[in-house]
Amino acid sequence: MAGPMKQYFWKQKIHRSMARDAERWKIFVDGDQWLCPYCSTAAFKLQTPESLEKQIFDHLSNDCGDWKDGKGEVMLGAALKERADILTIRQRLKGNASWRLYDFENRWYCPYCSQPTHVSRPFGDKPTDEMVSQVEGHLKSCPVAKSMNAQETPLEELRKTVQENNRMRGLVVTIRNHLESGNGLWQQYDQNRYWVCPFCIHVVEDVRFEDSTLVLSAAPPLMAQHLISDCGDFKKSPKLSRNLEDFTVMVEEIRTGKRARSAVDELQQNLATARAQIKTTSSELDRAKEVQRSILPAEGPQIPGVEVASTYEPAAQLGGDFYAYIPVNEEHVGFLMADVSGHGADAALVMSMTKKAFDLRGPGNVSPGHVSKIINHDVYSDLHGKHFVTAFYAILHKKDKRLKFSRAGHNYPLLYNTTREPNIAVLKSKGSALGVGPSEVFDKTMEERELQLERGDLLLIYTDGLVEAKNASGDDFDLPRVCELIKQFDGKPLEEMLEAILKAVTEFSGGGEQEDDIALMAIRYNGEE
C-alpha cells in the first residue's frame, strides 16, 4: 500500500481525470460492473453512485497492476465501450437464461427479435470468443436490439417460440423421412395431384405431387404448416393410426368424385358463390383487382406539419392486404395497415369484411387497443380460426402529435430519425392476430403503447410481402435492406421513397412473379407549420 502522500496525489489525479473525461470513467459491464480503463477488467459491482470514486480508488490502489506500474491507460473511448459490450455479451451468455436458448439444430435464439440466428451452440455449452463475436455482430444488425426502447423478450415467451419452431422443424424432418421411405399414407393425391392429408382427408392445394425432387424439398414444410395450423384431426391426435388400404379407398373416392372434395372449411363454403363469380381468366382477375384497389383511399389525411403517403402493389393472385385512414374525430385520425392470411377470393372478401368493421368501429374511439379488441370479437365467429388478419392500428392526436398504437400480430413498423439514438428502430408491442382466438384469449395479448412524435420522425408501416420477397437464392428482402433505403431517401418526398422501395424489391426478386401483396404507408412529422 502506498504512503499517505502518494495516496493523496493518486486521489487528486483520479479526481481530475474523472472531471476531465467523465464518460470514460463511467463505462459498465452489464449495467452495474465498473470497467477499469487501465487493466480493462470488470473490477467491481457498483454499490451506490456516490461511492463510485472511492471504489475506483480502492481498485486502482490495491488491485490494478497497470495503474501501480505506470503502464498508462490500456483502452480508451470507443475501444473501451466495445470491450464493455463484449464482456456484457459473454456474461449474459453464461448466466442469463434468455441468452441460452437453442433449437434442436443448435441455433442460438436472439433474446430481442426472438429469431433463430446463424450462431451455433458452442461445444461444452461455454461461450467461445468466436460465439461472442458472432452474437455481437448479430446484435449490431438486429433492429429490435438497436431500437430506442430495446427490451428482451420475456423468457417464457421466448421458450414458447423455440418450442414451436422445434415442433415445426421436427415435424418437417419426420414428414421428409416418411416421403423418402415411400410411406404410402403420406403420398396420396387427388386427380389434380394435390396432396390429401392422411389425418383430416382434406385436399391441400399448397402441396402438389409433380416432381419427386421438388416434393422432397418443398413439400414437407407446407405439409407441416397444414397439420399445425389447419388440421383439427392432427391437433386432437398427432399419432397417425389410419390403415393404408382404407385411406387409399377414400382417396380414390375423391378422385372419382364419389367423395366431396374438402380442402376448405365452413367459411369457404359460405363464400362459394362469391368465389365462383371471380373467374381465373386474366381479364376478370384484373377487374377483381381493380375493385380491390378501389377500396383503398386515394390520398392521405391533411394534418398540419405531417406528411402521409401510401402505395399498394398487388401480387398475381387476389390478396388481402389493405390500408385505411380512419376519421376518429376532429382531433384524432387513425392509420390502419392490415393483411389477411391466404390469397384468392376468400382473402379479398375477408379483407372487405375487416375494413368495414374498422370503418364502423373506429370513429369516436381514441383507443387503438380497444378498437382491436372489438374488431376481433366481431370477426372471430365469422372466420372460425381458418383465416386470420394481422393489423397495425395507430391513432394520432393532430395537435399534440401523440401517437397511440396497437399491433395484432403484424410486422413491427420502423421509426427513423437522425436525431434519435439509434437513428432507426422498431415499434415493438405485443398482440396476437385478429381471428385467431376468442375475446377472452385475444384481449389478454393486446398491448397499447404511445409515442410522442419528434420533428423529423418517419414511420414506415408495411405488410409481410415486403420483407418476405425472395431472390433466386431464396434469401428474403429483409429489414436491413429496407432500413438502408429509408436512410438513402431521408428528406426526400415520401412518394419517391415508397416508389424506390418497390423498385428495389422488384430488382431483388429478379423481375419474377410477385408472390404476395405489398402495402406501404409512410408518415413523417416535419414540425409545426
Q: From CA 403, how far away is CA 429, in angstroms rounded?
A: 13
Q: From CA 287, how far away is CA 279, in angstroms rounded?
A: 10
Give tens-digit pLDDT for 8-33.
Answer: 776 777 777 777 777 777 888 887 88
Give tens-digit pLDDT for 249-282.
Answer: 888 877 776 543 343 344 445 455 555 554 444 5
Can you give the pLDDT at residue 381?
76
Is residue 354 within 8 A of residue 343, CB to CB? The reply is: no
Any idea what the Cα angle at residue 420 is, between residues 414 and 424, rounded to 5°? 25
Helix axes 155-180, 212-229, angle to 10 degrees: 140
Share of the chain above pLDDT 90, in %: 23
Helix axes 494-508, 479-488, angle to 10 degrees: 140
Any idea what the Cα angle at residue 149 is, between residues 156 and 376, rounded to 5°? 60
Give tens-digit pLDDT for 476-495.
Answer: 888 888 999 999 998 899 99
Give tens-digit pLDDT for 164-220.
Answer: 888 888 888 888 888 888 888 998 888 888 889 999 888 888 888 876 555 666 788
Q: From CA 328, how far away is CA 281, in angstroms rounded?
A: 40
- H/E run at residue 247: helix 244-256
DSSP-assigned letter for residue 110:
P
Residue 46 has pLDDT above 70, yes or no: yes
Domains in the chain, start-ordered, CATH in brackets? 4-79 (no CATH), 96-153 (no CATH), 158-263 (no CATH), 284-525 (3.60.40.10)
The alpha carbon of 116 is separated from its chain's Cα centroid by a whole number of angstroms, namely 12
CB atoms closer than 10 angstroms to residue 466:
25
- H/E run at residue 334: strand 332-340
Output the pTM of the full model.
Answer: 0.49
Q: Name the nearest CA neighbour of 188 among 235, 151, 240, 238.
A: 240
The terminus-to-terminus CA distance of the chain in angstroms comes to 66
- H/E run at residue 219: helix 212-229
Can you give the pLDDT at residue 327?
92
Cell output for 295: 377500396
Is residue 261 within 8 A of residue 254, CB to CB? The reply is: yes
Cell output for 22: 467523465
Preceding amide of 238 cis, omega within 30: no
DSSP 453-508: --TT-EEEEE-HHHHT-B-TT--B--HHHHHHHHHHTTTS-HHHHHHHHHHHHHHH
